[in-house]
Structure 1
Amino acid sequence: MNKLSDFITPPNHINFLSKKLFGDCGEIINGSIAYLEPNGGGPTELHTHEHDHLFIVVKGEAKVLFDNNIHIIAENDFFIVEGFKPHSVWNNISETTIMIGISLK
């Protein structure tokens, strides 16, 4: 879980906390926001495709299943899934999780 100490106030900002989530990740294809209800996610079977996914959890916690692994994305954190790896993403808590999904070339 992220701590408030992970965030900084940039120079010349007031009452403003930020945390860099990612740097140059390549070319963006598209982006969306998702509301994952408890036990929600998908697809129900692992899938692959040509593009990568950058998942950013804004609220809650998500679980990414991929290559027989599980990665938990905490609130205010991110994870990149390579598209050629079989994967799916699920809510990992009993409340709604809000997540940004960005597809990358």
Structure 2
Amino acid sequence: MNEFITPPNHVNFKAKRLFGEMGQIIDGSVAYVDLNGGGPIQRHTHEHNHLFIVTKGEARIEVGEETIIVKKDESYLVNGKVPHAVWNNCSSETVMIGISVKGL
């Protein structure tokens, strides 16, 4: 899932798979995260998971004791039961799509 490809029977078209089966989608949103922005300030938990897809910039996802860097055209699935927060990790705006999903 790391490289863009041109699928068969496509022209001037590149695609990259960001995720596979992960559970039932609850909702989705787009977030514009300014320089030094993010949150929540206190890490939080909940029953559903988050799939974050970065479309511009770079996100820093703090999950438990780990820090995950997600770059443009990458995704990361956060286990909602683990304390987490999401922050902008670059010197310009970061844009992300967040999809809330029920776990499998």
TM-score range, shorter chain: over 0.9
> Letter of the aligned partner of 1:104 in structure 2?
V
Whole-angstrom distance in 2 between the partners of 1:46 and 1:23:
26
CA deviation digits over 1:38-88, x for unaligned, max 9?
A: 101010110000000000001110000111110000110000000100000
Give the % identical residues: 56
Equivalent pairs, count: 101
1:98 corresponds to 2:95: yes
TM-score normalised to structure 1 length: 0.94
1:29 corresponds to 2:55: no
Extract unaligned runs of 5+ from structure 2. none
5 Å matches for 1:66-105?
A: 66-105=63-102
Give me the CA root mean square deviation.
Answer: 0.9
Match for 1:57 among 45, 54, 59? Answer: 54
Whole-angstrom distance in 1 between the partners of 2:8 and 2:33:
35
> Letter of the aligned partner of 1:102 in structure 2?
I
Whole-angstrom distance in 1 between the partners of 2:63 and 2:50:
12
Query: How big is the shift at 1:98?
Result: 0.6
Extract unaligned runs of 5+ from structure 1. none
Counterpart in 1 of 2:9?
Answer: 12
Query: How big is the shift at 1:23?
Result: 0.7
